[in-house]
Amino acid sequence: MRYKKLILLLVIPILASCIDQDSAEEDPQFSEWEFNIAERECKRFLLERVNMNHTGEAKIFNKYIKSNKIVSEVGYRENAQHSISSNEAYRVRLCIYDPEAQTLMIPSVFDQDSWRE
């Protein structure tokens, strides 16, 4: 009886270490085509949603995968007459593209931290 417990105590950690726990949680690999769709549609979607005081120019600063979705950091410039500062800085918002559901989402200011890289 003692030996059975000892064997179990030795075998269980060995078996547990053989199981790859990360593979179940790993984000899927998306194609370059899906990243291009996310980039194009996020720029368009963001410019439609922000105030009309932008220049019409949008730029992707970063793209990454989080929670099985493509997250893009999209920057846009405000018109000079509406800008508080005189510099040409970009304002950056996150855009989330779900290739499976083919949906776009711009998280609220309060929800952006959960989507950061």
Complete DSSP assignment for 70-102: EEEEEEEEE-TTT-SSSS-PPEEEEEEEETTTT
Q: 102 in a domain, yes or no?
A: yes
Q: 101 in a domain, yes or no?
A: yes
pLDDT value at position 79?
Answer: 72
Q: How far apart are CA 85 and CA 115, in angstroms?
A: 28
pLDDT value at position 68?
Answer: 93
pLDDT tens digits, 4-54: 554 545 545 554 455 444 433 444 688 999 999 999 999 999 888 876 667
Global pTM exceeds 0.75? no
- Find the domain containing 65 and state its range: 29-115
Q: 47 in a domain, yes or no?
A: yes
pLDDT tens digits, 67-114: 999 999 999 887 765 555 555 678 889 999 999 999 999 998 888 889
Q: 23 in a domain, yes or no?
A: no
Plot region of 102 (φ>0 → left; ψ -120 to 50 → alpha; else → beta): left
Q: 94 in a domain, yes or no?
A: yes
Q: How many domains does the chain have?
A: 1
pLDDT value at position 36?
Answer: 93
Q: 48 in a domain, yes or no?
A: yes
N-term to C-term CA, the chain: 51
Q: 4 in a domain, yes or no?
A: no
